Chains A and B, each alone.
Chain A
Amino acid sequence: MSYAYLFKYIIIGDTGSFVSPISPFQIWVGKSCLLLQFTDKRFQPVHDLTIGVEFGARMITIDNKPIKLQIWDTAGQESFRSITRSYYRGAAGALLVYDITRRETFNHLASWLEDARQHANANMTIMLIGNKCDLAHRRAVSTEEGEQFAKENGLIFMEASAKTAQNVEEAFISTAATIYKKIQDGVFDVSNESYGIKVGYGGIPGTLGWKRWLNFSSRRVLQLKLLIFECFDSSNCVYRVSTLYCLLLLFL
């Protein structure tokens, strides 16, 4: 499907699942479920734990323009941080997720943010998400604390639930809208893909699309030039004819 822009997102935060003390089989998982809820509109509590990175994608529409979100879901465990850091490169947006029922995940936000600031491009839009807001009765981090942290660090903030889908859609879309606005304001040079934005063919006669066409055609042109060169240089009559035939085929 064609898109006007492609944004790369990355989901980061402590390894997310929560096991019910009553039965270990009742779990609420964090990041991966958030992604599944957004891309597939379903809640799947049983999902293999993420090793390295997993990918999801969905099309959204902003300002009547089709935008593709390519979302990278990362492993949360500390051991994999050095690997996770390599995924920041070229991300336009990040969802920094903590669990409102587990205080320690909130306490670790600063170190995640530091990683993100250090390894991502400076204009990356970061959305802070307090996940599992359906479990308000087990809340360990207040909404105000979340808001405060976001404000201090210049993040967008939202509380969401991967289980009930509350605010999931909004979180991803408002991040995209922020990025889109930055493009409109000229913050990004969209032809530089290291900002995590690719310009597609859909929606606009994008500069990059045109560039690609040119690139493609110049390749063809080179082939043609060579053939013509060969053709007129050759003293062999049969060869000339056949090369012309090739030329004809190429044009058709």
Chain B
Amino acid sequence: MHEADIHDLSDDADYAASQQQGSRSISRCGSDKRSEPSGAEVVFLKENVAIHPTQYASERIRGRLRLIKQGACLFMTWIPYKEIGSGGGAFGHSDARLSDKDRNLYSIRAVPVTDIRSIRRHNPTLGWQYVIVVLSSGLAFPPLYFYNGGVREFLATLKQHAVLVRSADDANLFLLNDFQDPLQRSLSSLELPRAVSVAPTSTSESSSSSSVSSERPEDGRSYSEYQKHGQKSNDPARDLSIQVLEKFSLVTKFARETTSHIFREIHSDNLNTNDRKNQAPIVSNSNNDVDNSGLESASTESFVAADPIEKPSCRKDISAVKKLPLQWGVLSLFIFDKMTLVWGKPRQSPLGTEEWVTFLDAEGRILDSKDLRKRIFYGGVEHQLRKEIWKILLGYHDYDSTYAEREYLSSMKKVEYKALKRQWKSISVAQAKKFTKFRERKALIDKDVVRTDRSITFYDGDDNPNVMLLRDVLLTYSFYNFDLGYCQGMSDLLSPILFVMEDESEAFWCFVALMERLGPNFNRDQSGMHSQLFALSMLLELLDKPLHNYFKQKDCLNYFFCFRWVLIQFKREFHYEQIMRMWEVVWTHYLSEHLHLYACVAILKKHRKKIMGEEMDFDTLLKFINDLSGHIDLDAILRDAEALCVCAGENGAALIPPGTPPSLPLESNLLYSQQDEL
């Protein structure tokens, strides 16, 4: 066998017992203590449980699924095997196409079983049994395929150690509950066929009553229908949010091929549920949805609609939705609080020097630019490498340039910079008096550089020479690109670049390269900003229709509340170290040139419940978003942005009009002129 991480379980009674239960293949014994809590006991172990990241058999990742008990807590882990030689085994697949690094991205490390909301078992007629695990946080893991069987034992073991309830309606859905709420506990102890139904919150209240009356004028009938649907929907199996999350697990490209038939089945389920919802907006709730903050918040979970991310595969749903725009808008207000995205890969550690040289040939050319961009996309680079790598990411240096060529270019550019700088340095006081535009620009830049990042050590204190460098570079740029000139926000973009480069000329040329992409942000007519905010609104409509509709309803579709995010690429939203990380990831243009727009969507989605729940209007929303500054989890947002990007796929890319910054303009209409200002 090919597994290299090995476990010493020979003295483990549970393990020995489980050995007898089913067919499995365990070879050597050792231990992988890193991923296990100490003092842990493995209560279930299954070899050859696989994840299928793509439809290619060669890219399937096999690993070991375990349930580990530590004290009163039960954890689930799935660790892929390390690759040794041919991993064919009985199934004849080679995993050789995926590197260990990629494979480890899918690892499931010690998830507490109390965090699991549901497990759905699938028994396809062809192929292997698999389960989909949905966490209460909204995460769903990719389908776990049990090549050697053992789903039943897995569930049985879970049942021994946790509260596992099989859904009454769907024999294949199992719910795990962590009872915290006394109401919930008492209800479940009564073993009710159905639990408390939950009324809508204030916003949905009016619409629900109106939709009830508009949809079903005869009251008697409406109630019986409500009952009928109610019974259907009472069961947790019909809890749409679970289905939605499971489907999200499925809808990703990772399992598309192998699960297509199930997909269709769920799809038809989904249509039913939509119909039902339209008729009876008050959907009865499952007991695990009643959380301890009471009915008001529980009701936010009870309103579950189809996942907007699935829209491309659910055309019929869309048409149904279009017929009922008003109800849809209100009903779906509270739907996606659980819709945290699933598929962003875990972030990696930043690219270090040792690894960096492996991307280079002997003369310093980058062997595979895509590979490098991918690596940086997932982890960024260590600070000491930024000086070198940013120049390449920004396009100042070419990927296939050699060390010597880069050095030569830098020295040539240094001369050129000096010449450019002389252009304004040589303006005498007398000449300046007759040169209003210059005076105004200089005054504006002078004012702004002393208000840029002065709390950073690099720029703090009186008479800091770095502040003067900032001014010189900006003023030189305003001569280099006289049409664009200077605009507030540019100093924010330059500041980290100068900090990294520690060299005036290099910083200038990096800034020039960056402004090739972001220059339109500062067009006087704001065309670059408007096109990006427009693209953002299109993306949000695709990725979170209900939230988009909410903004529409609140007259917020101009997305001005995201203005600062987009203008200076989140510079004011993160700490200095974080923004450098964010930028290098965004600059890779790895999955999309417009990752920053997906990041906007990710942040908005993250707060969608609060935004819609508190019915924020434009003012409140603007203040809320302003106040998020410094409180955004960068890694989480990058992961979500990545997931959204993958999810939107070509549909997303198609929505962003060509030429939207930072994409280069279609034709070089760079002869853009704008007036100066004060």
Among A13-21, A139-147, A161-169, A200-208, the stretch that binds chain B is A13-21
Among A76-84, A119-127, A174-182, A183-191, the stretch that binds chain B is A76-84
Nearest-CB distance from A107 to chain B (Å)? 10
B443 an interface residue at 8 Å Cβ cutoff?
A: yes
Query: B201 to A219, Cβ gap below 8 A?
Result: yes
Known contacts: A15-B678, A25-B462, A51-B567. The answer to whether A89 contacts B451 by CB under 8 A is no
Nearest-CB distance from B464 to chain A (Å)? 8
The answer, among A25, A78, A105, for a CB contact under 8 Å with B524, is: A78
Contact pattern, B 433-448, Cβ under 8 Å of A = 1, otherwise 0: 0000000000110111
Q: Which residues of B contact A245 (CB under 8 A)?
A: 186
Give the docked Cα–Cα distance between A82 and B559 (Å). Answer: 13
- A52 and chain B: residue at smallest CB distance: B564
Query: B487 to A77, Cβ gap below 8 A?
Result: yes
Give the docked Cα–Cα distance between A10 and B371 (Å). Answer: 49
Give the docked Cα–Cα distance between A89 and B622 (Å). Answer: 12
Give the docked Cα–Cα distance between A29 and B200 (Å). Answer: 50
Q: Which residues of B contact A104 (CB under 8 A)?
A: 678
Chain A contact patch, size range: 35 or more
The answer, among A53, A219, A246, A249, for a CB contact under 8 Å with B205, is: A219
Residue with the highest number of chain A CB atoms closer than 10 Å, among B282, B468, B623:
B623
Query: A77 to B295, Cβ gap below 8 A?
Result: no
A47 an interface residue at 8 Å Cβ cutoff?
A: yes
B619 an interface residue at 8 Å Cβ cutoff?
A: yes
The answer, among A24, A51, A53, A216, for a CB contact under 8 Å with B622, is: A53
Q: Which residues of A contact B198 (CB under 8 A)?
A: 223
Known contacts: A15-B447, A24-B446, A78-B524. The answer to whether A52 contacts B567 by CB under 8 A is yes
> How many interface residues does B have (CB within 8 Å)?
61
B296 an interface residue at 8 Å Cβ cutoff?
A: yes
Q: Can you list 19 A-B pairs, Cβ within 8 angstroms, ordered by A?
A: A19-B446, A29-B447, A49-B448, A49-B451, A51-B564, A51-B567, A52-B563, A77-B487, A79-B524, A79-B677, A82-B526, A86-B560, A87-B622, A89-B618, A226-B199, A236-B193, A238-B190, A242-B186, A246-B196
B626 an interface residue at 8 Å Cβ cutoff?
A: yes
Give the docked Cα–Cα distance between A86 and B558 (Å). Answer: 9
Query: Which residues of chain A from 6 to 51 have any CB-CB distance to chain B below 8 Å in the complex?
Result: 8, 14-15, 17-19, 23-25, 27, 29, 46-49, 51
Known contacts: A86-B618, A90-B619, A239-B193. The answer to whether A15 contacts B444 by CB under 8 A is yes
A138 an interface residue at 8 Å Cβ cutoff?
A: no
Query: B491 to A49, Cβ gap below 8 A?
Result: yes
Give the docked Cα–Cα distance between A82 and B420 (Å). Answer: 33
Query: A83 to B563, Cβ gap below 8 A?
Result: yes
Q: Which residues of A contact B182 (CB under 8 A)?
A: 249
Query: Which residues of chain B from 426 to 468 have any CB-CB distance to chain A below 8 Å in the complex?
Result: 443-444, 446-454, 462-463, 467-468
Q: Which residues of A contact B193 (CB under 8 A)?
A: 236, 239
The answer, among B190, B471, B560, B677, for a CB contact under 8 Å with A83, is: B560
- A47 and chain B: residue at smallest CB distance: B451
B123 an interface residue at 8 Å Cβ cutoff?
A: no
Q: Which residues of A contact B572 (CB under 8 A)?
A: 48, 51
A227 an interface residue at 8 Å Cβ cutoff?
A: yes
Contact pattern, B 531-564, Cβ under 8 Å of A = 1, otherwise 0: 0000000000000000000000000001010011
Give the docked Cα–Cα distance between A246 and B197 (Å). Answer: 10
- A78 and chain B: residue at smallest CB distance: B677
